[in-house]
Structure 1
Amino acid sequence: MGRLDGKVAIVTGASSGMGEAITKLFAKEGATVLAIARRKEKLQHVIDEVTKKGGKAVALAGDVANEADVKNAVKTAVEQYGKLDIVVNNAGALDKVAPVADLDDETWRNVFAVNVDGPMYMFRAAIPEMLKNPGDAEGLNKGAFVTVSSIGGTHGGHTGAAYTASKHANLGLAKNVGYMYAKKGIRSNIIAPGYVATEMVDLSRTTQSHAEGMEIVSAGVGANPRMGKAEEIAELALFLASDESSLVNGVVVAADAGWSAY
C-alpha cells in the first residue's frame, strides 16, 4: 500500500524542481495528482513520466496568481475525482535581491501575486471542499495543506526585500489556517527549505540581480552546510500530507541541513 492511497492532491509549481519531485513521489505513493504550472510542455513531460510508471496524474496549465486558474483546479479535482484531500502550495517567484530602497513596484507586486495571493486563493477555494470530506472516526484528517515557504520566511537576510516579505506572509497565512481550522479536521504545515538544487536557484544565479544585494546576502551562504535536493523536500512534504502526521499542525519545518541553526 502507498502512503497516500486513495487521496486526491493538488500540487502547484509542478513543472520542475521541488514541485516536480513532490508530484512524482505523491503519485508513486498512490495519490491522484492534479499538477499545476504555467509551462505546459514541461509540465506534460512530468505527467508523462508519472503515468509511464503507473501513477495517476493530470496536467493543468495555470497560474496561481490568477484566481480563476486556482478555482478551476479545485473544481476539476472535485468534479473528476469526487473530492480534494491534499494541497501543496509550492509555486514561487523570486525577486532580484534588491534592498527595499531600490525595489520597484512591479517586482513587489509580481512576487506577492505568486507567493502570497496564490496560496490565499488556494486556501480559500480548497477549504470548503475539504470540509465536506468525512475524515476519520473523530471527524479529523479531512484535509492537509503543505506550503513550501523558505528560510527567507523565517530570517531577514537570505534574499531580497520582496521575496523575504512575501515568504514571511505566506508562512504566517499557512500557520493561521492551521489553527483556525484545526478543530474542523484540516491541517496546514510549512516547509522552510534552505538552498535546494533546483532550476529556480540556477535561474537566480544567472538572472540580473542587484549587485549590492547579492553581495550582502552571499555573506551568509558560507554558513550553509550543504545544498539540498528536491527529492528530500518531497519526502518531507509526503509525511506532512499523509495521515502519519495527524498531530502535526501549524508548524514550520526547516529543511536546510542546519543552516538556520547557525
Structure 2
Amino acid sequence: MKPLFPSPVAEWHNETYAAIDPTRPELSMAGKTVVITGGGTGIGRETVRAYALAGATPIHILGRTQATLAETKKIVESDVPGVNVVLHIADVTDQKAVRKAAQEVGKWDVLISNAGYLAKRSPIKDLDVDEWWLGFEINIKGSVIVANAFLPNRNPNASLVAVSSAVITLPVKVVEGTSSYVTSKLATIKLFEFVAAEYPDVQVVTVHPGVVDTVLNSKSEFEGLPMDDVKLPAHFMLWAASPEAAFAAGRFIWCNWDVSQLKAIEKKFQEDELFLTTGMLGWPFP
C-alpha cells in the first residue's frame, strides 16, 4: 500500500511479508545466541517467536515479571520445537540485576533493546513528576544499563536492534501530553547513534515498531491510527539484525518501510551521513 506518512520508500506495510519472513534462509539465526529485553509480552514476545522460527537458540529474555516471561517461554517452546528460551528476572533500570543477567548469558550475537515505558498522558502542569521521569529511567537509563552490561561480551559480527518510536517526528500539538515518552524516545535514537559510533564492529539499528495493539500503546490515547499486525515489527527486527540491513547501521528506520526498497536506496545511506539520524530540522542551513 502507499505510505501513510512521509517515507523514503513507496511501499508501506501493515502486515509481515515474504522479504522479512523468519523462515527465509537468508535471515537464518541458526547457532546464534539472542538476548531480548521486555520479552514477556506484546512485541517482545512475538520477537522471541520470530528469532525462534529463524533457528536461534538459546534465546535469553529479560523482564520484571516471572509470570509473563514464563508464559513466553511456554508458548514459544511449544510452537517451535528445539528452541531453548532462558528467563532472567531483571528490571532494566536495575544495574546489578542486568549485569548478573549479562554474566549468565555470556557471549551473544543479537541484542534486542525492547523494554519501554509510556507515562500517563498529561500536560506538564498536571503531571506526576516521578511517573514522568520513570519514562526516562526505563527508556534511557535502562537502555544505557543494558548496552553497558552486554556489549563487552558480544561475539564477532554482533547486531543490536533498539526500539524507539516514530512519534518523535510528529508536531508537538498532535502529541500534547506525551512529553515524557516523546522526548525520551527521541533521546533513545541519539543514544544508539553514539553506540553505533563507539562500537563500529556492531550492527546497531534503531527501529520504529509500528502501531500495535499492546498495553503500552493503549496508554497513548491516540485514536484513529491504523494498526499494524504484531508480526510486522517482530519480523522486521529479525531482518534489521541480519547482514541484509548492514547498510542501515546507525540509522532510525520504520518497520512499515519495504525492506527491498530500502536496500534499493542504500547509496543514499552511504552518501548522506545525516540521513535518518537525529538533529535540528533545517540544519545545515541553505
Place the TM-score, normalised by the shorter chain, in its bin: 0.7 to 0.9
For normalisation by structure 2, the TM-score amounts to: 0.74
Instruction: Classify the secondary structure of the residue corresponding to 2:191.
Output: helix
- Separation in structure 2 between the aligned mates of residue 89 and residue 176 of structure 1, nearest angstrom: 15
**2:214 aligned residue (198, 203, 210):** 198
Match of 1:104 among 119, 128, 136: 128
Q: Which sections of structure 1, spanning at least 5 residues, go unmatched?
A: 136-140, 206-213
Deviation per CA, 1:151-203: give whole Å up to 9, x if none. 12333443611111110111110122112222xx112111113421123223x
Kindly indicate whether residue 78 of structure 2 is the aligned counterpart of residue 47 of structure 1.
no
Q: Contact 1:74–1:84 (CA<8 Å) still a contact in 2? A: no
Match of residue 246 from structure 2? 246
Distance apart, 1:257 and its partner CA: 7.6
Aligned to 1:247, the other structure's residue is in SS state helix
Tell me which of 173, 177, 187 is aligned to 2:203: 187
Q: Which moved more, 1:16-25 or 1:98-107?
A: 98-107
Which residue of 126, 130, 148 maps to 2:163?
148
Q: RMSD of aligned C-alpha atoms? A: 2.0
**CA distances 1:123-163 after superposition (whole Å, capped 9, x unpaired):** 11122112xx3x3xxxxx2x111111111233344361111
Q: Secondary structure at the match of 1:229?
A: coil
Q: Which runs of 5+ in 2 are unaligned?
A: 1-24, 259-286
Distance (whole Å) between structure 2 residues aligned to residue 171 and residue 248 of structure 1: 13
Contact 2:196–2:202 (CA under 8 A) maintained in structure 1: yes
State the one-letter code of the partner of 1:72: K
Identify which range, 33-42 or 146-155, moves more after superposition: 146-155
1:177 equivalent in alignment to 2:195: yes
Structure 2 CA distance, aligned partners of 1:97 and 1:246? 36
SS of residue paired to 1:85: strand
Could you say what secondary structure the match of 1:107 adopts? Answer: helix
Between the aligned partners of 2:210 and 2:240, the Cα distance in structure 1 is 18
Give aligned-pair identity as a percent: 26
Pairs within 5 Å for 1:75-224: 75-78=103-106, 83-130=107-154, 133=155, 135=156, 141=157, 143-155=158-170, 156=172, 157-158=174-175, 160-182=178-200, 185-202=201-218, 204=219, 218=222, 221-222=223-224, 224=225
- Larger CA deviation: 9-18 vs 50-59: 50-59
Structure 1's consecutive aligned runs of 4 or more residues displaced over 3 angstroms after TM superposition are 153-159, 255-258
TM-score normalised according to structure 1 size: 0.80
Query: 1:26 pairs with 51, 72, 84, which one?
Result: 51
The answer to whether 1:67 aligns with 2:95 is yes
Which residue of structure 1 aligns with residue 61 of structure 2?
35
Q: Which structure features the higher share of helix residues? A: 1
